[in-house]
Structure 1
Amino acid sequence: MSYAGRERPVPELDRTPPYLQVVHELRRRIVDGELKDGDRLPSVRQIAEDWGIAQATAMKALAALRADGLAQSVTGVGTVVRSRRNLHRSAADRLERAVTTGKIYPDNEYAKILAAELTVPPTWVADLFELGEGVAAIRRHRVTYNEDGPVSASTSWFTPDLATTVPALLETERIPGGTPNAIEAATGRRGVAAEEATAAMRATEQQSEELGVQVGDPVSVGRNIYFDSEGGIVEVGESVAPEGRWKVHRHSS
């Protein structure tokens, strides 16, 4: 579906440079799946009219999306979304989708749950959950795919008490609405914020097999924490994506 077929209020401009505001808004729509791979982005003229900016500024915004690998010029069509090979959705993005839409993945992505078990977590996870030495936690490990193949591999960790209250966490089936909504339904605890740290590393043997890269290839690793309204930790996770995938972070006040 083309951009022209969507009706959406245009945000007011603030002190951020106008072209960056356009870039951030269009990136957000791509991350959220509102604009899918192959969808037509607004034209230079349309952007200029909608945001009240010069056409040269609008051209700069589309050029930035092309430079990021999220868009491509197509003769006779215009600028279209090209995100399948270059976009990696962050933990904050997936949390927001889960709590606002009931869906973690856009239509062109899906996940395979490879493990769902009680096992002793790594030290950094145990410390965050304040678990004693040797105490097991719930581990869910998955690989996310799109039409081209693996997008990312990720592991989510949960406190062991949820094995009783949310037994679906220990099943290798996708949970309708995602784990945040399942935990909220069972406990009343709602994930409202996410903190994420990222680092560049080298692919391990397991990551090589799951992502289709070579051992030692560069990968982007993110560690995330989901918090509830009381500041308690709902979920701790780690995700790995091949090099060349952009992760978009959004901040709200």
Structure 2
Amino acid sequence: MALDRTPPYLQVVQELKGRIISGDLADGDRLPSVRQIADQWQIAQATAMKVLAALRADGLAESVTGVGTVVRSRRNLHRSAADRLERALTTGKIYPEGEYAKILSAELTTAPTWVADLFELQEGAQAIRRRRVTYNEDGAVSASTSWFAPDLAESVPALLQTERIPGGTPSAIEAATGRRGVAAEEATAAMSATPEAAQDLGIKVGSPVSVGRNIYFDSAGGIIEVGESVAPEGRWRVHRR
């Protein structure tokens, strides 16, 4: 087994980031103190201070006088496709406490070329599309569109309904087909908000946004879902290793 040469403070940072991203540490929760971090992870207090500084630098925490360092992810954190898949498969829930989604539409419609190519469909073929906007108490967090192969319309009819699916689409597909999502790939780019994205997020057309295109794979390497998400400026994607 290869030795983990990641600096000790970064190992702690990664663990705490993972708990924040998963929602185990929610917005407003108090993080361990410098002394608690030093004792729990057997590191020097100076090193423990670097842990909290790193979380603050990533926009995931802030110092509150008289309280300590608390999680501040609601305004800043944008969860990636891999984060959502992992949460759905490990907890049965996609959204952490304080977040929820509204399904705007669920239908069979003509797939764009990039989606048709991934599903190996003919140009102009139909696929299942689900559009949603995710909110927290501050407003819209992200807008996203998921695409599924058309043959799932019969085996997973819930994909064509605008009600939320308990446990998320990965769990529903696994229950109906036995295909389990095990990996996600995501590419991101900085772009300008389209009229549709601007309306969904409550921002101006042309505002800077972060766009991600994702693919969920099953254990055989087959594609279960492809999608696209849009987040407004100022929201960080945090990658874990």
Query: If the length of structure 2 is used for normalisation, what is the TM-score?
Result: 0.97
Alignment correspondent of 1:199: 189
Asked if 1:179 is matched to 2:179, the reply is no
Count residues in correspondence.
Answer: 239
| 2:102 is equivalent to residue 85 of structure 1 | no
* Residue in 1 that maps onto 2:180: 190
Contact 1:92 1:249 in 2 (8 A): no
Q: Which amino acid aligns with 2:122?
A: G
**Equivalent AA in structure 2 for residue 230 of structure 1:** A
- SS at structure 2 position matched to 1:104: coil
- Which runs of structure 2 are paired with 1:106-125 in the superposition (5 Å)? 106-125=96-115
| Structure-1 residue corresponding to 2:117 | 127
The amino acid across from 1:49 in the alignment is: D
- Offset of residue 64 of structure 1: 1.2
**SS of equivalent residue, structure 1 residue 184:** helix
Q: CA RMSD in A?
A: 1.0
Q: Distance in 2 between matches of 1:109 and 1:235?
A: 22
Aligned-partner Cα distance in 2 for 1:232–1:137: 16
| Correspondent of 1:148 among 130, 138, 145 | 138
Q: List gaps (5 residues or longer) in structure 1.
A: 1-12
CA distance in 2, matches of 1:133, 1:200: 27
Deviating runs (4+, > 3 A) in structure 1? none
Q: In the alignment, which of 15, 20, 42 is matched to residue 10 of structure 2?
A: 20
The correspondence for 1:97, drawn from 87, 99, 102, is 87
CA distance in 1, matches of 2:157, 2:4: 46
Query: In the alignment, does 2:207 pair up with 1:214?
Result: no
5+ long unaligned stretches in structure 2: none
Quote how far apart the aligned CAs of 1:250 are.
2.6
Could you tell me which of 5, 8, 19 is aligned with 1:29? 19
**Residue 192 of structure 1 aligns to a residue in which SS?**
strand
> What residue in structure 1 maps to residue 160 of structure 2?
170
Task: State percent identity of aligned pairs.
Answer: 82
